[in-house]
Structure 1
């Protein structure tokens, strides 16, 4: 019988998220593997994978907040907004002061409008932006609303005309840290790009729960679906009668647990479904009882 649950991977640098999914399909011996939001190849850290029935959780988990540790180099711009791209411009950052840096960071904190990097997986007229950019086409991407909950400077290192800024960023889903680096450099008049990125948390799942692919090859560790849902969403325990309703896709009276996904559990503790509350009714988003 196929195991279902989440696998929290500490993604290595140089791997695409699709590479990790492919490796996990072989390790878990199933094609039913997906991820809850990509990481760029250069980046490392928490990548949440769903195995089996848990692939149906991923779209809901992808909407949770994320935490990153990043290094931004001021004084150099690239065409990808990170260190994997080609240098497009240099301008000395030597005159950037501490207060100016703090002001630039503050301006990028809170609800902001952000233009994604040209080299990104966003689709433009049905085609991935990065494919168009690599053909040399100018890609026009619309600004999107994102929220940077916290943007904290941890260390500043000056080396001639460049400044390396270590920072911690807590942000909403859909925020590009590469774009933060680009926009910080632009606001300071010197350009900037990302040189290192490590994701330390996705929703409730952090590096303490993450395992390297080598370790998972030795011992597969799958977080059961019930535990995964209880960690990420409000929990609702129901009676046998209500459990039967939910198992057949029926609706329940709302319990006032909020608009987002709510995990519904049977009297024996088994995960039944995810529901959402609309007015006086809780309707199923996904039912997991086979």
Structure 2
């Protein structure tokens, strides 16, 4: 270990709520957090495209064990859909493929096309997405000149609210929307498919994630500020491991004996709840996520002390 690198155990296991700027990959954000904290064990829950801004959830130290249980929750996005052009990437960063005048579309037609992108959907991800095809990212195959056709996947758009429709040019229509959806939904695919249904093509010009599960951008901070707050003992952009887990899952207060038993991988009496429960010891430390299995509750993932 270099003299300047801390042992991961020297930094409290925590969740960082980062407000990602545009132009950075999620991996870039993780790399910045690693440099700022001088620790290696950091990951993220749910990728954001480089163009996108907003909430990116990071786990530090043993909090990385929690990330897989945070990424599957519903997401909220603010986005701008441009009708009249389609692009290679279904967003503004890709080469324009087609340009079809959209100036004739009235607001009712635009709203109807977007309303059709709500509810349960079979959505085909963009070919330049992070979906793996035979072990390789789809976007890597596309950049290598391969033709990639991805299988549709089941997603649900719970709500799509149109806030504003404008016409920045005679042949273009811009639509500002809020989308609440399940994890794995591609907002740029909504833009693409609505534009295709209208016969004019569509893509995203702006995308911001404002919520992931119970976490909001109002709680977030730039990555270096969140890292500094963690080192200072807390502040904006930082959630302790117990606070993060109990924000997502029901809490179960353990006795000292139960905490010891779970720490050894043993079962404790059932919680009486369906799904995962955050098991917390008398000192307020997250011991494990547990789930009922018959008369007992077993450890789904443990968080050892230290």
TM class, shorter-chain normalised?
Answer: over 0.9
Bigger mean CA offset, 158-167 vs 270-279: 270-279
Partner of residue 282, structure 1: 297
Partner of residue 22, structure 1: 31
Superimposed CA distance per residue, residues 43-62 of structure 1 (whole angstroms, 9 cap, x where no aligned partner)? 00000000001000000000
Give the one of 162, 172, 179 matched to 1:153: 162
Distance 1:169 1:52 in 2: 32
TM-score, normalising length: structure 1 = 0.95
CA shift at 1:182, angstroms?
0.5
TM-score, normalising length: structure 2 = 0.91
- After superposition, the Cα gap between the structure-2 partners of 1:213 and 1:244, relative to the gap in structure 1 and judged at 3 Å, is closer
CA shift at 1:210, angstroms?
0.4
- 1:71 correspondence with 2:71: no
- After superposition, the Cα gap between the structure-2 partners of 1:278 and 1:179, relative to the gap in structure 1 and judged at 3 Å, is farther
Partner of residue 271, structure 2: 255
- 1:51 correspondence with 2:67: no
- After superposition, the Cα gap between the structure-2 partners of 1:6 and 1:39, relative to the gap in structure 1 and judged at 3 Å, is same
- 1:181 correspondence with 2:191: yes
Give the one of 133, 138, 160 matched to 1:129: 138
Secondary structure (helix, strand or coil) at the match of 2:127 reads: coil
- Unaligned residue ranges in structure 1 (runs of 5+): none
Partner of residue 244, structure 2: 228
Give the one of 103, 119, 126 matched to 2:112: 103
CA shift at 1:219, angstroms?
3.9
Bigger mean CA offset, 131-140 vs 48-57: 131-140
Distance 1:199 1:23 in 2: 20
CA shift at 1:276, angstroms?
2.4
CA shift at 1:171, angstroms?
0.7
Distance 1:251 1:173 in 2: 31
CA shift at 1:279, angstroms?
4.8
- 1:272 correspondence with 2:287: yes
CA shift at 1:280, angstroms?
4.3
CA contact (8 A) 2:162 2:175 kept: yes
CA shift at 1:216, angstroms?
3.6
**Cα RMSD for the two superposed structures:** 1.4
CA shift at 1:277, angstroms?
3.0
